């Protein structure tokens, strides 16, 4: 008896040793290309390191982060009429007139640039930042992420329900929806950039012009008001299939007899979707949402290829700071900001997934 | 309304939806194919035509000149070779190393298992952009050539993913096989190598496919690490920054042709291995 016990604990030890040996290569590689570079990026983010430059690297504390994130809101003073001392009013619109927003922002010790202007209770304010490009990039990326993920969820649900239905050629359709997903983003970005050309050589301008909408010269990719919607359109096309597959996996876990029971009860398809399917899919939807949000917030390929430096995502901003400006330290700080934001989502994701090693 | 007509209506509605969905998914690709068969003059036609047509007569006419140009473009041909080398190497390395880790995580008992599982899961979500400047410095300091550095750095996303998905597959294998082999006197490594690994062959195919697709399509690292070594560029970098002989305007016809050529291997994989790819994708994301 005692011998058997000893034998089994020997086996357990052997098993444990094997496990560590098998895990070692993976962890060594991830340490070398993941954790070590991450720590060095963290270190660089407190310096003014510049690539390929003779300038010595100095420790500058939190200055990079300060430049990236400093924001201020100031009221823009109205223009006063010299004769009456009253606020000057535009003769055509009747709107009060204001000084230039740029001049209202502080210039010393660091210069603030306007990010956006807004009116509240008749007063005009300007939001300024020391790096307006970065604040714009963060805002655009967040808007892009939230809107694409929401649209993908709705459309992905429709697609998942379709390919979950019973019809001839279902297998083929399931392969077909993988086309947008599998196509390299570099390729799909170029295809869409071509379809969105600012004249009637582009598909969208041609079709809208045929329909009598627009003059056939809509600048989808250079008009600031249309840039984000265009990015959202492209990304929704590209990633809806992935969302649909995640939802489909959840749909397939729902036992069919639940629906049969609902059928007997006389519940229509719409009611059974909202009262049965949706609640049962809650877990899957939560996981898919966080997973996709994480992905959307680090968007790079699409922005860099289609918009270049006309408009940044957080990731393409970081890339251009590093490669174009060779601002190693500054780019590292912006990397760390992205990492921090994404970590919050990742932790939420892992919580919702719940890792179980089923050993206990 | 009888049940029969109701059923018929819902059938028709379903097919309408299927049809609309198929168009939405495939249309951009159709447009790329259409444009890839157009000459420079046809591409400049306003309004754009839905099939390649001669500007004057309006007759349908295709050209293969974009494909000819692309296949005579040395940068593109080198891109195919570079992409194949990188993607295949990454797949092989990630599978070999990831299978070890997956087996340990899925089947073996050891102290600290939860921690390792959490680390691997967290690494599957690791944002590449966060380590871009750090990796770039390491590569420059050590002077690693672009192709090996791509293979090495792609493991950052393919290795955790492979390990994670394989963990799920190993977990599903019945523990009895493992135990009875042990009772028969096989060492745990023998059990893994001779019994468990062959059983996971389908899972290896699935994860291998996904690792290959991920590496074939990767853009950020490829763009950054080949910036000073243009002959190491992979297909996505070449297509996004297409080398044009006539710098006047973007050569969209050639870009579309190049894009189609570089997507075809992936389409073949998708249509042959549809079930496996779907299984792998969802296992990677939703199975805990």
In tens, the pLDDT along B120-142 reads: 988 988 899 999 999 998 998 89
Search chain B and give the residue with CA nearest A285: B286
Question: In whole angstroms, what is the distance from residue A32 CA to residue B156 CA?
Answer: 9
Q: What confidence tier does B213 reach under pLDDT thresholds 50, 70, 90? A: very high
Q: B160 to chain A: which residues are within 8 Å by CB?
A: 26, 30
pTM of structure: 0.89
- Name the residue among A40, A186, A210 with its Cβ closest to that of B236: A186
Task: Output the pLDDT for position A358.
Answer: 47
The predicted structure's pLDDT at residue A40: 94
The model's pLDDT over A297-313, given as tens digits with 9 standing for 90+, comes to 999 999 999 999 999 99
| Chain B residues near residue A301 by CB distance under 8 angstroms | 219-220, 236, 240
Query: What CATH architecture is A133-323?
Result: Orthogonal Bundle (1.10)
Percent of chain B residues past pLDDT 70, beyond the cut = 95
Q: B93-105, pLDDT tens digit by residue?
A: 999 999 999 999 9
H-type helices in chain A, by residue range?
2-30, 36-44, 63-69, 101-104, 132-164, 170-176, 178-182, 185-195, 203-210, 224-252, 256-264, 269-272, 278-280, 282-297, 301-306, 314-323, 328-353
ipTM of the complex: 0.91
User: What is the pLDDT confidence band of residue B248, given thresholds at 50, 70 and 90?
Assistant: low
Task: Decide which of B22 and B46 is more confident.
Answer: B22
pLDDT digits (tens, 9 = 90+) for A125-164: 888 888 999 999 999 999 999 999 999 999 999 999 999 9
Structure tokens at B273: 């291995």
Is residue A273 less than 8 Å (CB to CB) from chain B?
no
A325 — phi, psi (to 5°)?
A: -95, -5
Domains of chain B as residue ranges with CATH? 23-63 (no CATH), 67-286 (1.10.3720.10)
Task: Check whether B247 has a pLDDT greater than 70.
Answer: no
Contact B130 A176 (CB under 8 A): no
Count of residues in chain A: 360
Phi, psi (degrees; rounded to nearest 5) at B144:
-75, 130
pLDDT at residue number B179: 77
* A38·B128 Cβ contact <8 A: no
pLDDT score at A359: 43
pLDDT band at A360 (very low <50, low <70, confident <90, very high): very low
* Lowest pLDDT segment from A174-183, A296-305, A344-353, B89-98: A344-353
Query: What stretch of H or E contains B176?
Result: helix B175-183
State the Cα angle at B154 between B152 and B156, rounded to 5°: 95
Q: Which residues of B touch A46 (CB under 8 A)?
A: none
- Domain ranges for chain A, please list them: 71-130, 133-323
Question: What is residue A352's predicted lDDT score, i.e. its pLDDT?
Answer: 67
**Residue B286: pLDDT band by 50, 70, 90 thresholds?**
low
Q: Do A300 and B47 touch (CB under 8 A)?
A: no
CB-based contact, B273 to chain A, within 8 Å:
no
């Amino acid at each position: 008896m005692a011998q058997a016990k000893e034998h089994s604990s020997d086996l357990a030890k052997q098993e444990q040793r094997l496990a560590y040996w098998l895990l070692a290569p993976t962890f060594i590689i991830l340490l070398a290309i993941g954790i070590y570079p991450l720590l060095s990026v963290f270190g660089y983010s407190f310096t003014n390191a510049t690539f390929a430059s003779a300038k010595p690297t100095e420790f500058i504390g939190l200055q990079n982060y300060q430049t990236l994130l400093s924001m201020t809101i100031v009221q823009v003073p109205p223009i006063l009429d010299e004769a009456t001392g009253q606020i000057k009013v535009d003769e055509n619109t009747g709107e009060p007139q204001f000084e230039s927003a740029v001049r209202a922002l502080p210039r010393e010790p660091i210069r603030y640039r306007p990010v956006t202007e807004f009116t509240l209770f008749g007063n005009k304010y300007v939001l300024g930042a020391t790096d307006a490009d970065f604040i714009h990039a963060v805002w655009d990326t967040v808007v892009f992420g939230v809107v694409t993920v929401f649209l993908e969820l709705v459309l992905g649900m429709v697609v998942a329900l379709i390919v979950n239905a019973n019809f001839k050629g279902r297998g083929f359709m399931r392969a077909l929806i993988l086309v947008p997903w599998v196509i390299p983003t570099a390729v799909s970005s170029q295809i869409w950039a071509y379809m969105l050309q600012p004249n009637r050589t582009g598909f969208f301008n041609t079709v809208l012009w045929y329909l009598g909408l627009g003059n056939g010269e809509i600048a989808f990719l250079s008009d600031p008001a249309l840039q984000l919607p265009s990015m959202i359109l492209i990304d929704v096309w590209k990633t809806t299939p992935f969302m649909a597959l995640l939802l489909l996996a959840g749909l397939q876990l729902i036992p069919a007899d639940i629906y049969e029971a609902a059928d007997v009860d006389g519940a229509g398809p719409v009611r059974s979707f909202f009262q049965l399917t949706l609640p049962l899919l809650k877990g899957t939807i939560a996981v898919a949402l966080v997973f996709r949000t994480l992905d959307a917030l680090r968007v790079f390929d699409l922005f860099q290829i289609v918009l270049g430096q006309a408009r940044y995502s957080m990731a393409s901003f970081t890339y251009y700071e590093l490669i174009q400006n060779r601002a190693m330290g500054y780019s590292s700080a912006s990397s760390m900001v992205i990492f921090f934001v994404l970590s919050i989502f990742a932790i939420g994701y892992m919580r919702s997934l719940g890792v179980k090693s089923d050993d206990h | 309304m009888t049940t029969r007509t109701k059923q018929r209506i819902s059938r028709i509605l379903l097919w309408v939806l299927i049809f609309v969905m198929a168009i939405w998914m495939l249309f951009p690709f159709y447009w790329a194919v259409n444009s890839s068969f157009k000459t420079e003059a046809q591409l400049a036609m306003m309004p754009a035509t839905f099939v390649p047509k001669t500007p004057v007569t309006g007759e349908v006419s295709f050209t293969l000149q974009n494909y000819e140009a692309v296949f005579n473009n040395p940068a593109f041909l080198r891109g195919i070779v570079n992409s194949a080398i990188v993607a295949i190497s990454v797949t092989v390395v990630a599978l070999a190393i990831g299978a070890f880790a997956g087996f340990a995580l899925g089947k073996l008992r050891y102290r600290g298992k939860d921690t390792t599982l959490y680390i691997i899961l967290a690494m599957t979500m690791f944002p590449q952009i966060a380590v871009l400047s750090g990796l770039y410095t390491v590569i420059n300091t050590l002077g690693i050539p672009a192709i090996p550095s791509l293979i090495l750095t792609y493991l950052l996303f393919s290795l955790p993913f492979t390990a994670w998905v394989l963990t799920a597959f190993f977990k599903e294998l019945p523990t009895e096989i493992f135990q009875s082999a042990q009772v028969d006197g096989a060492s745990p490594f023998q059990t893994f190598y001779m019994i468990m690994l062959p059983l996971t062959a389908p899972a290896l195919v699935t994860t291998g496919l996904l690792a290959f697709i991920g590496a074939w399509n990767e853009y950020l690292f490829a763009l950054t690490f080949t910036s000073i070594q243009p002959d190491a560029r992979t297909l996505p970098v070449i297509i996004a920054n297409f080398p044009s002989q006539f710098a006047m305007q973007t050569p969209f016809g050639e870009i579309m042709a190049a894009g189609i050529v570089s997507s075809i291997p992936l389409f073949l994989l998708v249509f042959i291995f549809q079930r496996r790819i779907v299984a792998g994708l969802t296992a990677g994301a939703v199975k805990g």
